[in-house]
Amino acid sequence: MGLTKDFFIMLSENQALNEAAKKYGLSLGANKVVAGVDIPSTITAIKDLNSKGITATVDNLGEFVFSKEEATKAKEEIIAMIKALDNSGVKAHMSIKLTQIGLDVDKEFCYENVREILMAAHQHGHMHINLDTEDYKHTVQTFEILDRLKGEFKNIGTVIQAYLFRATDDIEKYRDVRLRLVKGAYKETPDVAYQNKEDIDENFIKLIEQRLLSARTMTSIATHDDKIIEHAKKFINQHNLNKDLIEFQMLYGFRTELQEEIAKQGYQFCVYVPFGQDWYGYFMRRLAERPQNLQLVTKSIFTPEVNKNIAVGAGAVAAVSALAVIATKLRK
């Protein structure tokens, strides 16, 4: 059975499975890819990363927010984490998704929430806040809010997705804004995005080179792709670029040995650290972005006991069967 990007994106958008995973996911081993369910456990995980010369960007997981009450609760959780990060002295900052704090409820309400978060971060060590981008429609809205705030706040940044045609222009527009460069993990139409891996990879490399030669502030290269990592390192050395303004990023729980190896080579390294019970949509999009990550599922999440119970033998069947088990539990 071929596992495609569309397959995992479809799963990530299933609200029933998302709710089921929120309740049962960590009992199935999701702690391999989620740093903690609360602030103390997440801080502990970040301290471990810091001890290895690795910083963190922290994501308060959350999906399907359609009320002001839910958005306000998420905003308060983010601010509580900002305060905890500052008080603990760890090397970390926050990444936020605007749909979690009200973008689908009311755009102006969301803008005020973002501004409140930025104010709190500024008061706590001038902490950086990254506005994560999502699907195309929400990316456009996120950039509109960024444009309103970047003059007032210097501790704000965002993400450029290489599969979008507009990415080249955005790289140029945001030369003075801290950026994370990624391939992109949503399903987009051919009129706004590249559709095949080769074109996306080629554009990703072009964007990395464009950004590194023109940036006036920090650039994060977020990928698990060996070829792109090696190309970026070679480009950095060939052009004698300032490594203080460049970092590599990977996801928590993925390729930990390589993370530590790159950090030991003298490059700045940051790990994207998700926390909370709402892990399901996040993880499915990681599989959509790089289906090879399914090996992590079968090795780390689906333990021998779990695999025995759901009677699976192949990776694809394991993924589908486990999700079915979660859905079955929800109905009980």
User: What ranges do the domains of the chain cover?
Assistant: 1-29+288-332, 34-278
Closest C-alpha among 51, 104, 57, 99 to residue 81: 57
Q: Locate 211 and state its tokens.
A: 């950004």
Is 135 annotated in the active site?
no
Would the annotation count 138 as a binding residue? no
56 annotated among ligand-binding-site residues: no
What is the reported pTM? 0.85
3-class SS at 188? coil
DSSP summary character for residue 279: -
Of 40, 132, 42, the residue nearest 92 (C-alpha): 42
| Sign of the dihedral defined by the CA atoms of residues 314, 320, 321, 325, in that order | positive
Question: Catalytic pick from 59, 170, 180, 201?
Answer: 180
Residue 224 annotated in ligand binding: yes
Its CATH architecture, for the domain 34-278, is Alpha-Beta Barrel (3.20)
pLDDT single digits (tens) 80-111: 999 999 999 999 999 999 999 999 999 999 99
Q: Does the annotation flag 285 for ligand binding?
A: yes
97 is in an annotated binding site: yes
- 102 labeled binding residue: no
Residue 286, annotated as binding a ligand: yes
211: annotated active-site residue: no
Q: Is 222 annotated as a binding residue?
A: no
| Percent above pLDDT 90 for the chain | 70
Q: How many helices (H) and strands (E) does the chain have?
A: 14, 8
The answer to whether 146 and 187 are in contact (CB under 8 A) is no
Q: Is 129 helix (H, G, I), strand (E, B) or coil?
A: strand
Whether 183 has a binding-site annotation, put simply, is yes
From first to last of the 332 residues of the chain, give the pLDDT tens digit. 345 667 767 766 777 776 666 666 555 556 778 898 899 999 999 999 999 999 999 999 987 799 999 999 999 999 999 999 999 999 999 999 999 999 999 999 999 999 999 999 999 999 999 999 999 999 999 999 999 999 999 999 999 999 999 999 999 999 999 999 999 988 899 999 999 999 999 999 999 999 999 999 999 999 999 999 999 999 999 999 999 999 999 999 889 999 999 999 999 999 999 998 777 777 776 677 666 666 655 554 455 544 444 333 334 434 444 444 444 444 44
- Active-site residue identified among 59, 132, 201, 278: 132
